[in-house]
Amino acid sequence: MDDATIDRLVEQARQGDLQAFGSIFDAYHAAVYRFVVSRVGRPSDAEDLTQLVFVKALEALPRYKARGVPFGGWLFRLARNTVIDHVRTRREHVDLEAATHRATEDAGPEAVAALRDELDAVARALTELTEDQREVIALRFFAGLSAREAAVAMGRQEGTIRGLQFRAIGALRRSLGIEVIEPDAGRGDPVDDDEARGAPSKAQA
């Protein structure tokens, strides 16, 4: 669904069109759920919190004004705040295994065991990141947000998001024993998605 369609649906939903809001729900539900479950771990809690996010969105839509802010970023800011409130209340930690449990139910026992070993390694590596770095990873890769949308969700500058992502991926690679291509000395934070994902620069290619 392109940006123009989303903007049109949002405007219709702001005017009370529940069918338009249903289309928005369909477009964003899976991404919001992936983000929430990556942060809270338990699928049952994630389902409840995802529903709560959309209830809050429906209540807040009449007051929503784009002002150059992507709707996805605004929606995920609601999701982020909902997760923060939940974690503060429940004091629970991220459990990546829960986020992938459904995907492994039909796999064979050897495949499941191997995947769980990998998930355990990734989960341990994630605990070594800062909270901001973990949140960027969740927004960018679990929820699939753009750097701009993640910036809106976290209330940060887009360049800050790219820098956090770059450093988080570097730290994960080191923790997991994956070869890291170090940036040139004196080079600042990455400015594009290829660099942010640790890809070689043109000079290195």
Number of domains in the chain: 1
Kindly report the CATH number assigned to the domain that includes residue 25: 1.10.1740.10
Q: Which two tokens stand for residue 164?
A: 């956090």
What pLDDT does residue 116 have?
Answer: 61
Contact residues for 34 (Cβ-Cβ < 8 A; gap 6+): 99, 142, 143, 144
**205 within a domain of the structure (yes/no):** no
**91 within a domain of the structure (yes/no):** yes
Digit-coded pLDDT (tens) for 61-91: 888 887 777 898 899 999 999 988 887 766 5
pLDDT tens across the length of the chain (205 residues)? 788 899 899 999 988 888 999 999 999 999 999 999 888 878 888 899 999 999 899 888 888 887 777 898 899 999 999 988 887 766 544 444 454 454 445 555 665 555 566 666 777 777 888 888 888 888 887 788 888 888 988 888 888 888 888 888 888 878 877 654 444 434 444 444 443 444 433 334 3
In SS3 terms, 44-81 reads as: HHHHHHHHHHHHHHHHHHHHCCCCCCCHHHHHHHHHHH
**201 within a domain of the structure (yes/no):** no
Report pTM. 0.59
What pLDDT does residue 24 have?
Answer: 92
**202 within a domain of the structure (yes/no):** no
Instruction: Quote the domain boundaries for residue 100.
Output: 3-196
**204 within a domain of the structure (yes/no):** no
**102 within a domain of the structure (yes/no):** yes
**67 within a domain of the structure (yes/no):** yes
How many whole angstroms separate alpha carbon 119 and alpha carbon 95?
A: 9
Q: Which two tokens stand for residue 69?
A: 């802010």
Digit-coded pLDDT (tens) for 89-114: 665 444 444 544 544 455 556 655 55
**97 within a domain of the structure (yes/no):** yes
